[in-house]
Chain A
Amino acid sequence: GQQVMQIPQYQHVQEGEDFTTYCNSSTTLSNIQWYKQRPGGHPVFLIQLVKSGEVKKQKRLTFQFGEAKKNSSLHITATQTTDVGTYFCAGDNTDKLIFGTGTRLQVFP
């Protein structure tokens, strides 16, 4: 079946450093969504990408959808302690939304 893998599994950074998480699908996706889950909380929707090669920005967050629509990335510039949490991608092919395994980000002040 379809798989959506994320790397790295964990990332510890110093506040102010950049952070990137990568999402790879075994199949072509019609769209990809990104969610953030704070420790002890529930996933919260961040953004959806639909077009091949699409790049979207939200303040310090940059989201990219690959040209082949099989991979995506989330880049955070100058991390802050409020960025702590687990970031999930969720890929949609023709069946249903499949969540990646997540990248847990820890930011040290």
Chain B
Amino acid sequence: NAGVTQTPKFQVLKTGQSMTLQCAQDMNHNSMYWYRQDPGMGLRLIYYSASEGTTDKGEVPNGYNVSRLNKREFSLRLESAAPSQTSVYFCASSPVFRVSEQYFGPGTRLTVT
């Protein structure tokens, strides 16, 4: 029972490159989330999927796209990376949307040069 897993753990991109961050959970949770964490900014919601088959924008969606591939997997794509997207990205899941605790993955540390 791994909980929430994320790949890769670290990534360095050049400006303009694209990449996909992968997230999977094995807890049969309905809801999944992508956050970014910057120093002094806390956690900011990028996109979320309240249930399989749905996705919605969070607080800072610009420059990102998501796919809820199935109940287990929720990926985050950067189509054309920018230095402003240098951050630590966390995926999280919860049994029910909003009203229950969220379980976080270990994070992906992304640097865009």
Contacts of B59 in A (CB 8 A): 1, 98
CB pair A42–B107 under 8 Å, yes or no, is yes
For B58, give its contact among A42, A96, A100 (CB under 8 Å).
A96
State the majority secondary structure of interface residues on A. strand
A73 contacts the other chain (Cβ, under 8 Å)? Answer: no
List B residues 81-113 near A (Cβ within 8 Å).
Answer: 90, 92, 98-107
CB pair A92–B99 under 8 Å, yes or no, is yes
A80 contacts the other chain (Cβ, under 8 Å)? Answer: no
State the majority secondary structure of interface residues on B. loop
CB pair A97–B45 under 8 Å, yes or no, is yes
For B104, give its contact among A43, A97, A98 (CB under 8 Å).
A43
For B42, give its contact among A41, A45, A88 (CB under 8 Å).
A88
Name A's B-contacting residues (CB within 8 A). 1, 6, 9, 30-31, 33, 41-45, 48, 88, 90, 92, 96-102
CB pair B99–A99 under 8 Å, yes or no, is no
Q: How far is the CA of A30 from the CA of B44 in the complex (A)?
A: 19
Given contact pairs A33-B102, A43-B104, A96-B45, a sample of 13 additional A-B residue pairs in the complex whose CB atoms are under 8 Å apart: A9-B40, A30-B99, A31-B99, A42-B105, A43-B102, A45-B103, A97-B45, A97-B102, A98-B59, A99-B42, A99-B45, A100-B42, A101-B40
Type the 1/0 row for B68-89, where 1 means its CB is closer than 8 Å to any CB of A. Answer: 0000000000000000000000
Contacts of A88 in B (CB 8 A): 42-43
In whole Å, how far is B41's beta carbon from the nearest beta carbon of chain A?
7
Contacts of A48 in B (CB 8 A): 100-101
* A-B pairs, 10 with minimum CB distance: A45-B101, A99-B43, A42-B104, A101-B42, A99-B42, A43-B104, A102-B42, A42-B107, A42-B106, A92-B98
Type the 1/0 row for B4-22, where 1 means its CB is closer than 8 Å to any CB of A. Answer: 0000000000000000000
In whole Å, how far is B111's beta carbon from the nearest beta carbon of chain A?
16
Contacts of A98 in B (CB 8 A): 45, 59
For A97, give its contact among B40, B98, B107 (CB under 8 Å).
B98
Most buried by B among A44, A92, A96: A96
